[in-house]
A and B are shown apart, each in its own frame.
Chain A
Amino acid sequence: MKKIPVLLFIFSLFFVTESFSDTLVLSSKLKVDYPNPVLISHTENTLIIKYENWSFLHNIVNPKEIYHTIDLTGLEKDFILSIFEQKTNSNFPEWLNALSREQAKEFGVTSSNVLRRKINLSEIIGVYDKKRNSGYLYVFDETKIHHFVIYGSEEKYNLLVSYIKER
């Protein structure tokens, strides 16, 4: 009989650990609820959330910093969409369409592996590259473009997508 409270206590600890999570607020309408990481680190512009066997990174897309030598101000949304849609944008100069194709190749984009999801007015677009065990996600909210990179399995990539929610 004495063992029952002990077992209940152990069970409750397990439950608490599993359900505990932190929240990253993306905007007044969007958030990411993620499980407790091993560590969190921050560079000048990127938040790193690290787990035992996977990590994800978040930053806000700065059109002047996607490519250090190219200023994409005003074109950033169309450019990012063009990477995933793999269509020539007639408003782009040819070199920018070529760069979009090159980036699609680097991300491992194919005609069948692009994820698109809507959360109210926000849109998520992304891809998981099985060859490199990496995923690339963009969230277009009303004012900003959020960029997530995941280093880990496809299962974790799908989990990260599911963590992005309405507030």
Chain B
Amino acid sequence: MDLYDRDNLKAFLVTLFGNQANNWPMSEKMFNLTFELVSESSACSSAMAFVPRPIPYGQTPFKWLAKEVRSKFLKRLKNDKEHYVICLKAAAYRMVGKFQMASQGV
């Protein structure tokens, strides 16, 4: 991920999870978990509109999606983060442990 993508991802995750996300590394794993979080929520489908799906079995979203698509996806999340915080909060609470594990590299 380039610096711009990492900034967008961090801005989104901090809005969703609070200050703890400031210390999380914006890695490929974090992108994949974010993609999983958003893609599983039908209430938040707008960010997925331009993402080719389904992801082939065994592929990770980060590897499957072209760089441009990843960047557009992250830009949409950042720009509409207040909307996503509302529609994703229950899913985020379910998944926060996975993000915490990924942040520790475990």
Contact = CB atoms under 8 A, between A and B. Distances in A.
Contact of B101 (A55, A66, A70, A106): A55
Interface string A42-67: 01111010100001010000000111
Contacts of B98: 151
Chain B interface size, as a band, is: 20 to 34
B106 A57 contact: no
Contact of A43 (B18, B91, B93, B104): B104
A39 interface: yes
A106 B91 contact: yes
A39 B90 contact: no
A99 B89 contact: yes
Contact of B104 (A48, A68, A69, A151): A48
B59 interface: no
B90 A43 contact: no
Interface string B64-106: 0000000000000000000001000111111001101101101
A12 B27 CA distance: 44
B35 interface: no
Interface residues of A, number: 26
Contacts of B18: 65, 68
A41 interface: yes
B62 interface: no
B106 A48 contact: yes
B94 A41 contact: no
Contacts of B85: 68-69
17 contacts: A39-B106, A48-B97, A48-B100, A48-B106, A55-B101, A57-B100, A65-B18, A67-B93, A68-B15, A68-B85, A70-B89, A106-B90, A106-B91, A106-B94, A136-B94, A151-B98, A151-B101
Interface of B: 15-18, 20, 23, 85, 89-94, 97-98, 100-101, 103-104, 106
Query: What are the 6 A-B residue pairs with the smallest beta carbon separation, nearest first?
Result: A68-B18, A102-B90, A149-B97, A106-B94, A41-B104, A103-B90
Interface of A: 39, 41, 43-46, 48, 50, 55, 57, 65-70, 99, 102-103, 105-107, 134, 136, 149, 151
